[in-house]
Amino acid sequence: MKRLLLSTLLAGAASLALAQAKPAQLLPAQSELVFTSKQMGVPVDGRFKRFDAQLNFDPKKPETGKVAFTIDLASVALGAPELEAELAKTPWFDSKKMPQASFQSSAVKATGPGKYEVAGKLTIKGQTRDIVVPIALAQAGAVSTASGGFVLKRLEFKIGDGEWADTSMVANEVQVRFKLAFNGLAPL
């Protein structure tokens, strides 16, 4: 009887560990990836319609967390088809040759209740840079939402090459913001 009880407890603990090791599932309809750039000093807002994120995260052990993110660069939306067509070209995203941008975390650090810094490598147009992204994590029922933002320096990634490298026309700094909703994350 004791052996049966011990076996049942061990199996339950193993099942719980496996369930927690399973990545959270992105809820695309509740998520967004937006940005604001400035053209001749005027803010221009845009968003990406297609992206994916993988999150393997235990709030009790944030340092073991892993985040991976991909963006379909051809899915950029500015509300103006001519601008979207321009961004697909070689000086900008060159989305026919390099269709995706990606981020892969290297470290996750807790900075306060529900707050984290995620360090990793961002790759766009074949250019890779180290970045640190502050993230706030909140839960409502079964849905966990990671939100945050960072400043991207477009010229470091060769976005707006050639004649577009002039920052008096298009600013170098682009404000990126995101809200990613996930299902299946352990309670905070």
Please indicate, yes or no, if residue 77 is contained in any of the structural domains. yes
pLDDT in tens, the chain (188 residues): 434 333 433 344 444 443 445 789 999 999 999 999 999 999 999 999 999 999 999 989 999 999 999 999 999 999 999 999 999 999 999 999 999 999 999 999 999 999 999 999 999 999 999 999 999 999 999 999 999 999 999 999 999 999 999 999 999 999 999 999 999 999 88
Please indicate, yes or no, if residue 18 is contained in any of the structural domains. no
94 residue type, one letter: D
Please indicate, yes or no, if residue 6 is contained in any of the structural domains. no
Please indicate, yes or no, if residue 15 is contained in any of the structural domains. no
In this prediction, residue 21 carries a pLDDT of 54
Please indicate, yes or no, if residue 8 is contained in any of the structural domains. no
* Total domain count, the chain: 1
Please indicate, yes or no, if residue 116 is contained in any of the structural domains. yes
Q: Coil, helix or strand for 163?
A: helix
Please indicate, yes or no, if residue 16 is contained in any of the structural domains. no
| End-to-end CA, the chain | 36
163 residue type, one letter: E
In this prediction, residue 150 carries a pLDDT of 97
Cα gap 26→51, rounded to integer Å: 10
Q: How far is CA 130 from the centre of its chain?
A: 14
Please indicate, yes or no, if residue 5 is contained in any of the structural domains. no
Which residues constitute the domain of residue 142? 23-183
* Domain of residue 166, CATH code: 2.40.128.110
> How many CA within 13 A on the CB side of residue 171?
15
